[in-house]
Structure 1
Amino acid sequence: MISRESMKKIHIMGKRAHRTPLSYPEYKKIAQRYFEYTPKPEDADFLVFSFKLDMLENMEEVNDLLSKRPDMRLVILSEEPLWDTVWGGEFLSKKSKVLLGDREHPVVVLNHFTTSIYDYESIPYFVTTSDDYFARYSYLFSRNRNLKGSDLTALWGKASLRAAFYAENRDNPQYDVHFSSLDVWGLSRYRTLVAKGMAGAGVARVGQGWGETVRRQQLPDWHLDKLAALDRGVFFASGLENTHQWNYVSEKIFDAFAVQGVPLYFASADHGVMRLVPPGSFVNLYGLNPDAAIERLKGFRPDKEFLDRYLEAQFMLHGVFSNSMNLARERRRIVGEIVAEFEVID
């Protein structure tokens, strides 16, 4: 704990202000030991944004603030590689510049590429942002650890859904970004094309753009709704991310294992998911184009080796989510990394 006088004053700005590590209530409890959250932006030492677009949408106010407070610093603290790679500009440079109207300002960019904030030890960042994820996974993986191969064979044989894809319909080439030297791939359109290509009955496509009138995030509890809808009733459960980046793992693959579906994922041999579950415990579509991925799924039959790896994954995930200290340590580590980054901003 540091004295209030030496705390760095921050103001988080923009309509996506809730989508940055310092905004989630569970993280804010820890971060308030090191940062003072100022209600008024003019009182801050740092203006924090989760996304470059938030800065552009508030350019007049930001320019005015910096005219009055030239010592104020701009920081993008991004949790989404999708935002960085599609709309973020120079996402590989920690020290960058942003043009707001006719004025250019220095900006510090803290994301999956420029920092070690998201280099998780036991639990990937996104599922640490709410206690709900841990509580639900703790219960479900405790249940699942007692599964047998014969249980799975019977369950998948009578599943009412052959496949489920819970993600927005994004059939737009702008999402087809790739940076081969970084092994970074945009997957939003890829997973949309795979979902569209799964012909026949028993395929659930759920999310904005698939004909729904209400965004899933507007439901009282979109995550619980998904788990309840799919639990023990789906064969293929898509865990495909919006971006392939070595340390980016969202809730999706955990959901797939939790509901006892066969996870679909896209991961290179060096991807962080390989530290969470064994290779071979999910259907890995890495290196396959959408058409080839669909053919792979058509021909997939879980054999004994797959069942063994799948059961091993369930046991490993039970180990991760049965110890609440894993969650506490990960949150403290992330806040510590963020504090260290702010300490060296000049």
Structure 2
Amino acid sequence: MCKECKNVIKRLAGATLGLTLCLGLLSACGSKTTQQMEEKKEAGITAMQSADYKTAVESFDAALQLSGAKVDANVVDICFYKAAAEYAQGNLKEAIAVYDSIVDYDETDYRPCFLRGSVYLNEGEKEKAIKDYEEAVKRAGSNYELYILISQNLKASGMEDEGDNFLDEALALEGKSGEDYLGKGRIYLEQGDYKQAIEYLQTAVEKKTSDAKVYLAETYEASGDSDSASKLLAEYVKEEKPSAEALALLGNMEIKAGNYDKALEYYQEGIKKEDDTAMQDLLKGEIVALEYTGDFSSAKEKMTEYLAKYPTDQAALREQTFLQTR
């Protein structure tokens, strides 16, 4: 092995792993097989499921050492896992270093900005969190879902005004497409303004926007009009193929209605679609449904997997403590 590669590997194993190192500086020795890399990645995920985060980090580092010069989504995914494992074991500096690398590597990816901002928020670094959240929405464009998630995070941390500011910013976005009406309808629903939400969501339905009927049904339910909600949902399921996002909402509504087996069915059907935009809600919903059905063993296993992907979810961290006693 050449001296340069030895130095790179040494740096890869350290706390300040850089994504550029992961992607391009091992080519002089040639890359290992994709299978070996995947095995190390899976070993890291398995370690995380057992809350053995130190071993997880070591496995992810080993996987990254095998990446060679190939740039692909899997390498970035491993870096996300490593950041989660570092943060889960309390290594804030190391987790931030990995997120820094991903942020710098791809200036179009909003996810590392959002996740790093959430880490800062959980650590009380509010100004840094806001800065990262602002960068995330800048990169994401008209991503109403992201605005809602950021607002929810901020409000959960006692930053009500800042959370409202992000919702107001979303409402100020220009656009008259069905997706714009859907997004703004969801914002009004989040704010509890059901009249405005219904108006916007009805327009989204008229524009034949995917899943608009589901959100409109949710708004009807929230406003106390259960009959309209049930009628609209029945129509939706009959006429359309539910998206992952819609299946998450359907699962949530079944949970509220006490139909836990049906809710679990919706969540698991949505997870199979492998849609990142709805995956967090689907995975969290699946855990809730498993708990309600009494399958605490599966819920505990799924919670560990969930926290590996979303380590900054404080509510989930508290729920994990509960599940450890079951």
TM bucket by the smaller chain? under 0.3
Query: TM-score, normalised to structure 1's length?
Result: 0.27
Q: Which has the larger strand fraction?
A: 1
